[in-house]
Chains A and B, each alone.
Chain A
Amino acid sequence: MGKQPKVLAVLLSAMTLMLGACTGGTANPATVDNASGKAVADANNSDAEPSTDAPKPAAPTKLALWTFQEVHAKYYNGMAESWNAANPNKPIELEVTTLPDADMHSKLLISLQSGVGAPDLSDIEISKFPNFLRGDIPLAELNDVIDPVKDNIVQARVDMYAKDGKYYGVDFHVGASVMYYNKEILDQAGVNADDIVTWADFVEAGKTVLAKTGKPMTAVETIGEWQFWQMISQQGSDFLDADGNVILDNEINVKTVDFLKQMIKDEVAVIAPGGKYHTEDFYGFMNGGGAAAIAMPMWFMGRFTDYMPDLSGKMIIRPLPSWEPGGNRSAGMGGTGTAVIKSSPNAELAKEFLAYTKLSKEGNIEIWKQLGFDPIRKDVWELPELKEENKFTAYFGTNLFDTLMEVKDEIHTVNIKDKTPQINAAVKTIALFQAIQEGKDTLTTLKTVADVIRK
């Protein structure tokens, strides 16, 4: 009997050894890869002193980047090429992986918690960003690359990704909301988009459009948050206040949901097919001239050019209607913070590349040209490059940027706090759906949702 525990102990230690070997084996290829890349790059840097040989092209350092948007991936790959042309002494080999939104974020969370398998850089969607700013923050501080350009950028777009005075992410765009009008439908109804100043005017115009064309003025999102969020942001409200407290059930928000419900009741609006604007169903509906207008941030332009080709030349962009004359005509919505992972062996190089893609003048011009996003660097807004023709001007008409310049001071900052992931998920899956689609009492619905998150 006395022998058995001994035997067991031997067996167990043998197994532990084997398992240890297993984990070592899997972890190695990645680290070796990165380490050797880094080593070679360093060696080449120290070689910079004059030598008799012609300068050898440095071996590129591998950088892994995760994103959840195909268009972002394309942009980064293009920027990696121009980086390599501009920095022959520290070339990179960028490996961009595009994963579905939810998958990418949970994968990143898990790899950061477990300490294995994280990339060097990653896009993080704004509503998920606070998840990564908890505990011992696994993202690298970006102050040393942001501070030099601080005066030139829209501060709010890095503040959203900051904690205790340290920056952890850089956005692509300002995310200014605008109204996209289908001019063809408006013309049929005899409505001039420039006459629409307030939301009340918008509803009145909608009634004319409905009477003349039989089409709804707009579509309401019931499982998407952007439409509602920008409408309350225009009025200075939000889901959370500046201290991170839940204010979803405040008076302005209840009133705004009721406004959307009333538009549906008046048949000025319909519930968006698919429940939100980012669905195949909605693209098809809109592309076929299903509604006369939708309010969305500037970055939605890319969805028009890519998924609604039939509307090319028919859409025009105007500021949002304000709630009262002289009120804010835009809101800063959405965003993708690109972050450098602290544990990356190439964090410094990754930071430099990030600064090049999203903080440099060249990068900001390309962000406009390729992605149609309103870039965060203020000093590029008036450059001639932003007046040049591209696929967006071909689709929406020229002088797009003038609309942006017009509303740039009418953008209220949104509060991105610890509870943002929960409240955003709740707004888009429960609150709007129950209040609008299921027709439940607005105040009760918003209060129930808010109370769950307050707990």
Chain B
Amino acid sequence: MRVVSTAVPHRKITHTLRSLLYSQRFAPFLFVWPFIVTFLLFFAYPAVNTVVMSFQLVLPGDVRFIGFENYHKLWNAQFRQALIVSTKYTFWTLLVLIPVPLVLAVFLNSKLVLARNFFRSVLFVPALTSVVVAGVIFRLIFGEVEGSVMNTIVGWFGIPAQKWLFHSETGMLVLVLLASWRWMGINIVYFLSALQNIPKELYESAEIDGAGVFDKFWKITLPLLKPITIYVLTISIYGGFAMFTESYVFWTNNSPGDIGLTIVGYLYKQGFEFFELGYGSAIGITLLALILAINIVQLKFFGLFRKES
């Protein structure tokens, strides 16, 4: 009797378990739960908490709401300097990292270029290195002593040794150079993939109509690359404003005269060096709002929200 009485519920349990596992309602959750957990835990929770913290004073054992005080504090010379540096950096990286990879991608896509697979990989290699390692090497190359690589090179042209990392213009130059060197390959890959999707027939019919190389580039390649260009532009704006590591590697976040202070650098300084975690959160939320606003304007300008007619 005992055997029977336990066996029946057991069979029942396996049955419900099986039906649950095979149920079409349940299965999708099973497959997506790792994402949901990571999303909730590492994205949604911190994001919501950051918004809350931006209205708080956060100290060990003493957390209280202080209204908009953190946001009031934001309008100061140092934050403005961080804004200026981040904006300049974004501007220069956009200016370099969109047209140059685009043109290079067109060359690398052309069958006329010799050893194009070799060049493709060479240009992509920097993307695989760590920013920290590359940054340290750059810092040494741009050292202030006369024997540093860059000072030797400019010396050949009769230019005196520079303190590269002590002036805002040269400091920015080094930052942009590092970014260009590192991200060029990635953007080339984006443009290459888009180029390969342009139908060959378009070029053929253009040729029949007597179009030259430049006509084809301006009237076919460029317009058809627009969607990917907008994508690269969007992520580059985000990447530019969110830059931190490069500046940290060059100056350990204490650049002379704040010439390398970025918005995220300012956030790090306030949050982790001065222990103003609430104020740091306010900086983060402001950065988010800023990038969102710029990107919405940009996308609207390029007509991404317009309905296809």
Contacts and interface: CB of A to CB of B under 8 A. Distances in A.
Interface residues of B, number: 32
A425 B60 contact: no
Interface size on A, as a range, is 35 or more
A438 B257 contact: yes
B252 interface: yes
Contacts of A222: 256
Given A135-B60, A429-B254, A113 B76 contact: no
A136 B25 contact: no
Contacts, number: 88
A385 B176 CA distance: 57
A19 B41 contact: yes
Nearest to A132: B275
B76 A8 contact: no
Contacts of B22: none
A455 interface: yes
Interface string B28-48: 010001001100010000000
Nearest to B252: A102
Given A274-B144, A429-B255, A429-B256, A8 B73 contact: no
Interface in A79-136: 102, 105-106, 109-110, 112-113, 128, 131, 134-136
A452 B76 contact: yes
Nearest to B33: A11
B140 to A, nearest CB: 11
Nearest to B76: A452
B61 A106 contact: no
Given A421-B273, A448-B77, A136 B254 contact: no
Contact of A136 (B60, B144, B274): B60
Contacts of A128: 273
B257 A106 contact: no
B119 interface: no
Nearest to A135: B59
Nearest to A107: B272
Interface in A394-447: 421-422, 425-426, 428-430, 433-434, 437-438
A273 interface: yes
A452 B253 CA distance: 18
Contacts of B61: 135-136, 138
A134 B64 CA distance: 13
B277 A113 contact: yes
Interface string B67-86: 00000010011100000000
A388 B47 CA distance: 61
A4 interface: yes
Interface in B227-253: 252-253
Contacts of B120: none
A433 B25 contact: no
A135 B25 CA distance: 49
B29 A7 contact: yes
B203 to A, nearest CB: 52
B37 to A, nearest CB: 5
Given A3-B25, A273-B144, A281-B144, A113 B256 contact: no
B25 A4 contact: yes
B100 interface: no
A136 B258 contact: no
A80 B62 CA distance: 36
A134 B59 contact: yes
B190 interface: no
A370 to B, nearest CB: 28
Contacts of B26: 7
Interface of B: 25-26, 29, 33, 36-37, 41, 58-62, 73, 76-78, 144-145, 166, 252-258, 269, 272-275, 277
Interface of A: 3-4, 7-8, 11, 15, 19, 102, 105-106, 109-110, 112-113, 128, 131, 134-138, 222-223, 273-275, 281, 421-422, 425-426, 428-430, 433-434, 437-438, 448, 451-452, 455
